[in-house]
Structure 1
Amino acid sequence: MFSSPNRVAPYLTAVLCAAGTQLAEAQTNAVPDPQWGSWHIGTVILPGGPKHWGGYAEVQARANGLFRQYFYTELKGGVSYDLAKNFTFMVAGGRYATSDYRDLSDGPLNVEKRLWEQVTFTHYSARLKIEHRYRVEQRWFSFRDDITPEGSYRYRNRIRYRLNGFLPLNHPTVTNKTVFLSVYDEVFFNTRGPFFERNRVYGGAGYQFDPHWTVQAGWVNQANFTPASYRQHVFTPQTTATKNNLVLSVMYRINRRNGEVPAREYVPSQPD
């Protein structure tokens, strides 16, 4: 039943990665941020059960510095459906608020409401686990200082692809008391120009204590690409703003009642 999507996935993956690589190489004006930031992620997951339905809820806080200058929050959740053991569909949404860390009392500079649909393919080998995630987002923005005639809301679409790998070190599978490594690369595409918006690279390690608790710590580099512009007879070339961040995450998986679903392996993937 699912052979067709599985045949299409590798080709779509190759096209997206090739496009992202070529466009990333075209960005010559890199502007790295010398200061490291902080990402904190807390997630609760309800895995798919006998009727294949699951879901998740998550909160994130991000800081411009290490454990200081907090400026960004995410609140989100979604409903998932397991079409097969390695093929999951999800519909989710969230609220994303960006503030000025120098004056949080003034409220968010921008609030985004987001809805998305995604499919996830997971390939289980003897030890290495590979996850492909494809997502289509609908995004609504509200800017605090926007006084243009069109109003304060803006709408955009975006497409994302993430390739995530997991390698358990002390067990062949990710189970209780397992140390594992995790790496991923995610590319972000706009449906209107500029086409290539962002690239995100992550590397880290984690530990699954038991069927409920998993923690991870790692590094993420996020590169945002700004298109070239020509305004008031001044040409500004394309630029790439990059920032390194320390990522700390805690995941809690709500297990269903004993006997309702046979034991299976779940990769410790961050939902977002």
Structure 2
Amino acid sequence: MLPFPSRLLSSSCLLLPSLLLPIAARAQTNAIPDPKTGTWHVATVVLPGGPKHWGGYAEVQTRSNSLFRQYFYTELKGGVSYDVAKNFTLMLAGGRYSTADYRDLSAGPLNVEKRLWQQLTLTQFAARLKLEHRYRMEERWYRFRDNVVPTGFSRYRTRMRYRFNTFLPLNQPTFTDKTVFLSVYDEVFFNPRGPYFERNRLYAGLGYQFDKHWTMQAGWLNQANYTPASYRQNVFTPQTTLAKNNVVLSVIYRLGRPATTSASPEYVPSQPD
């Protein structure tokens, strides 16, 4: 009988058909185009799990409404991880998320979100191609400006997320020094209070791993938010989709561990976001 991590990893592959949901949902909704392209800047420090399996990360992120201007959003977050096995990691993390009006930043944030999440990550090393399955459960607390809660919102919400990420080193068989690689992922967001299918993120990027410490990526990300259909005052409003393209620039610094007699493990350049 397979050990528990292997059985869990095999079972996780059954969720791959869920990646088809965003495509079907888009085809059945009214797309609301946004001609602007936003920008995401992500800087992360990662402590990989060492001989005692404990690790963690810290991250700062900013986003803009337009290309390299109209910044309105910041994230500060971090967490502690534990490597149950080579391809099986648990994490407990949290963060602060602040959203403002880019036209009046001096007025302070429109809302501040505090978030806590529990996460399970499964990694498959299939020859040259690396596959990652990430499952996350979030608890979210909101504080709004002037303590006024907008219609349709609440001060506490939960959310579930699943991300399927693929990595392909181009000039090396594994991820090592001076490795050029491709990264593609799709992430779906589910809200138990509705809209149940809340969001989809599709990402494609090109990266470069300089050495065991530094990795950089530049990519394109499409984030689609879904508003459920409604029937109010004898008026039916169909489900709508608000999608936005973003340029993502990220840098990851991986802290070193004391040298051991065993060979260094291979790490995939996954973005913790």
Class of the TM-score when normalised by the shorter of the 2 chains: over 0.9
Residue 240 (structure 1) aligns with = 241
Aligned length, in residue pairs: 267
CA separation in 2, counterparts of 1:221 and 1:178?
26
Residue 112 (structure 2) aligns with = 111
Residue 6 (structure 1) aligns with = 9
Q: CA RMSD in A?
A: 1.7
CA separation in 2, counterparts of 1:101 and 1:58?
22
Residue correspondence of structure 1 range 253-272 to structure 2 within 5 A: 253-259=254-260, 262-272=263-273
Residue correspondence of structure 1 range 38-187 to structure 2 within 5 A: 38-147=39-148, 154-187=155-188
Secondary structure in 2 aligned to 1:4?
Answer: helix
Residue 19 (structure 2) aligns with = 17
Residue 28 (structure 2) aligns with = 26
TM-score, normalised on structure 2?
A: 0.93
CA separation in 2, counterparts of 1:44 and 1:140?
25
CA separation in 2, counterparts of 1:230 and 1:145?
30
Mapped contact 1:142–1:153 kept (Cα < 8 A) = no
TM-score, normalised on structure 1?
A: 0.93
Secondary structure in 2 aligned to 1:123?
Answer: strand
**Residues 93-112 of structure 1: CA deviation (Å, up to 9, x unaligned):** 00001100000011111111
CA separation in 2, counterparts of 1:261 and 1:55?
21
Mapped contact 2:129–2:167 kept (Cα < 8 A) = yes
CA separation in 2, counterparts of 1:17 and 1:204?
18
| Between 185-194 and 200-209, the greater mean CA deviation after superposition | 185-194
Mapped contact 1:50–1:260 kept (Cα < 8 A) = no
User: Alpha-carbon deviation of 1:176?
Assistant: 0.3
CA separation in 1, counterparts of 2:141 and 2:202?
26
Residue ranges of structure 2 left out of the alignment (5+ in a row): none
**Residues 184-224 of structure 1: CA deviation (Å, up to 9, x unaligned):** 00000011222100000000100000111000000000000
**Residues 219-246 of structure 1: CA deviation (Å, up to 9, x unaligned):** 0000000112334444322110011000
CA separation in 2, counterparts of 1:239 and 1:98?
23
Secondary structure in 1 aligned to 2:155?
Answer: strand
- Overall identity of the aligned pairs, in %: 67
Q: 1:258 to 1:9 in 2, by over 3 A?
A: same
Mapped contact 2:19–2:186 kept (Cα < 8 A) = no
User: Alpha-carbon deviation of 1:13?
Assistant: 3.9
CA separation in 2, counterparts of 1:260 and 1:60?
36
